[in-house]
Amino acid sequence: MEYGIEEERAVVAVLRERWLTMGPRTAQFEKAFSKKIDGAHALFVSSGTTALHLAVYALGLGKGDEMILPSLTFAATANVAVQCGAQCVFADIEDVEVPLLSPKDVARKITPRTRIVMPVHYAGFAVNMKKLCEIVEKERKRRHRAGEKRPLYIVEDAAHAAGARDQSGKPLGILGDAGCFSLFSNKNIATGEGGIIATKDESLYKRLILLRSHGLTRQTWERHKSGNKDYESLYNLSEPGFNYRPTEIAAALGIEQLKKLARINKIREKLFKYVYTKLHDAKNFVLPFKGLQSWGDPSYHILPILAADNATRLRVVASLNDAGIQTSHHYRPVHTMSYYQKKYPKAGLSLPKTVEYAEREITLPLHTKLTKQDMDYIIDALFKSVP
């Protein structure tokens, strides 16, 4: 995260004003975020996970439904389907050099029970949304002709993709029916915990507003501004909802962070491309997302590279650690985790590219405090790790 005096002043201002719960700064942050996504609705919630859960819940995901998603993702992507009583259907990535949900595999795995398709814009790079939307629209038309009642939606997991745009210049997160961003402390903009649900659907947006705060028709700040007039007629429950409200402190941080997003993403882009240039002809490592010029405007959230195999990956990670370089792993596939392995024991059989990618992937450090000299040190350590 990149915090400065601006964030400190913003938080102190909230504390001095003594209004900590969801209020005017939340609305201000949502308005500012909306401008970043071409005017689509933006709803601020308590985390990226609650954003995902609220979105799929509001779209009716439930018992008897299926949600198609990549296994190469954070566990929350799958967990929200389980929490709604639905079944996960894991689809493969396109290739180890394109570690994004494969529209072709989605097409193979859609059934009449599919209600949600959830692409993950891994590392802030765009899934092929044009092709995915075509596949979903074709299935919608088939259902309409067949008289089938189950609707089909796309909910983008854009946790990595704040500020990113696809090859056509459209913001990620508003290409499907809804999109969900994470503002966790390791994201390009950070509020500690926080998430945004984006949608162009007015009716969905209005329902999300209600569900975010218990289903109540009047919020605390609104009642406060009105002096609690007409309390009984305005303070009502439309349907049981959740407490997924953000705080004004988080909103204040978000307002200041959003002002820095373009610069943050540009710094990350320069460092990312610098490493890719240095490793372009490396024999011992493979670079996902080759041909960066064809990827639109990613957010460059993480910097993944691939070792030759899992044994080499482990050796490289240990060597970098000895050199004082912290690495990460994005991700252990969800279907290999204990709960999902028991629930879907055969899932991995249809995910060979996902399995291979995870066995080889190493996430290198990438943040705005790093310099080209730092990246040179990391690259040198990489080459020394594999003689």
Q: Which residue has the tokens 């899934």?
A: 127
* Token pair listed for 248: 């004004």
Look at residue 229 in the predicted model and tell me its pLDDT. Answer: 61
pTM listed for this prediction? 0.95
Look at residue 325 in the predicted model and tell me its pLDDT. Answer: 98
Look at residue 217 in the predicted model and tell me its pLDDT. Answer: 79
User: Which residues 6+ apart lie within 8 Å of 326 measured at CB?
Assistant: 320, 365
Total tally of structural domains belonging to the chain:
1
Under a CB-based contact definition with an 8 Å cutoff, are residues 195 and 48 in contact?
Answer: yes
Look at residue 223 in the predicted model and tell me its pLDDT. Answer: 56
For residue 274, the enclosing domain spans 5-385
User: Which residues 6+ apart lie within 8 Å of 299 measured at CB?
Assistant: 124, 160, 161, 162, 163, 164, 188, 265, 268
Q: What is the pLDDT of residues 24-55, one digit of tens each?
A: 999 999 999 999 999 999 999 999 999 999 99
Look at residue 65 in the predicted model and tell me its pLDDT. Answer: 98
- From first to last of its 387 residues, the chain has per-residue pLDDT tens of 889 999 999 999 999 999 999 999 999 999 999 999 999 999 999 999 999 999 999 999 999 999 999 999 999 999 999 999 999 999 999 999 999 999 999 999 999 999 999 999 999 999 999 999 999 999 999 999 999 999 999 999 999 999 999 999 999 999 999 999 999 999 999 999 999 999 999 999 999 999 999 988 766 656 555 555 665 556 788 899 999 999 999 999 999 999 999 999 999 999 999 999 999 889 999 999 987 778 999 999 999 999 999 999 999 999 999 999 999 999 999 999 999 999 999 999 999 999 999 999 999 999 999 999 999 999 999 999 997
Look at residue 237 in the predicted model and tell me its pLDDT. Answer: 86
- The whole-angstrom separation of Cα 98 and Cα 119 is 13
* Token pair listed for 148: 């089938």
Domain with residue 255: its CATH number is: 3.40.640.10
DSSP lists the bridge partners of residue 237 as 216
